[in-house]
Structure 1
């Protein structure tokens, strides 16, 4: 299967690497030449000089980009994927975007006899590196079945959840749940610290009970240490929550906690913390503390 991967960022870089290591007939493209050269040096495949050349003979094109406008430009812009890839192929969009953008791109793809699957991922950079991502997909089930061998190279779980847009909607559920969990963890740690408790001991006890979560297991100790220079950035989480809240407004769905946590993330951004991990919500509770490092 001839596969093209576009977008060699924190997630796409290792995802494309897995495809190369699994022996797919691969081409890659990245807007940043420096990052493309770095990937090529590591995985032994020269990056294509343009989107059009990268997708010229691809049966499947996977993209992993930043936001709606990035995806729209790369897929539907001049010299983009839809104008250059062969008819009968499939586009997989691993970006986290609005559900509306997914439906818009699917309609353009269909007009050119190209299948489209919206397939945002969860699991972070570590999940991408270790090939343990979760893929939430939307689209035609027959099209999805054709791309399963590709998804299996970098994902431990992947499922088609309904028509186009369902993947992005599921990712919204994912981000809603994460936001609430991280805020709850931040408040618990802040309360315990201010109350003078030995929080290492507290975490050891409650981590085996009903309060246990992935966030507690993987972020509580780094939060206590004031370490946030890793992981999924606050700027990206606010972008994702923007899509969530827009969709909720359109559907007249109340998300009061999510809206509140989004504003707490805005406070972290005001502390120059936009590039910090999402666990930096603790900083919003520590007004007057040192600026994030």
Structure 2
């Protein structure tokens, strides 16, 4: 009997970044994360070591400009929209002196509780577009899962103000790997709004120039009930009415345990892609 046609990947996104129907809706969705520190920290993945190492290879020599050196002479980093500190702590654990910046006191409190595995992380409550931090203080500025929430032109200007000569901006996104058909359907059911086109590029101001882009594919193993709870960290689900939120969670339960046939509580390798964009100040 001849084999049937190979399964095809359904159409994915044509977007370079998440779309918001209005500035007010964007602000409301961003505010939804304010009190999500514990769930976000438990359920959202961290950043692969290979991606963190790729960032570090582009750091300028700390001896070139003492203004960006930390207390021990090492590199200093500012993590904008740091949330619960997943990337900030990964950098601190590799010896950087890190300032984690966010507008959510609850998120930053969760970040502080992740320590004290490294002594060189401080938190700072401020918007990414106007941090109030000293000019030229950072060899590295990062934004992980966060740049699309900022006013890109204003954030670009603030980044260039914060960077020391030769400093680097790293923009990082973990997104579900929707090139895999079952993951694409999963993302649709949980209303994952951060799905972007394969070749997407973030919007940055002309003050910055792209020096490298990398894509790293990997899996995050999670119990099946945590995959369902992952939807609770999505802004759409957080802000939905209770009836709609319960329907999303019930659909996920059906999809994972009945349609895909995973046993309840079994470990599912959730495929992700991590997109990394590295920038330096543009040459005039």
Compute the TM-score of the two structures, normalised by the length of structure 2: 0.39
More helix, by proportion: 1
More strand, by proportion: 2
Higher RCO, 1 or 2 (CA under 8 Å, sep at least 6)? 2
Compute the TM-score of the two structures, normalised by the length of structure 1: 0.38
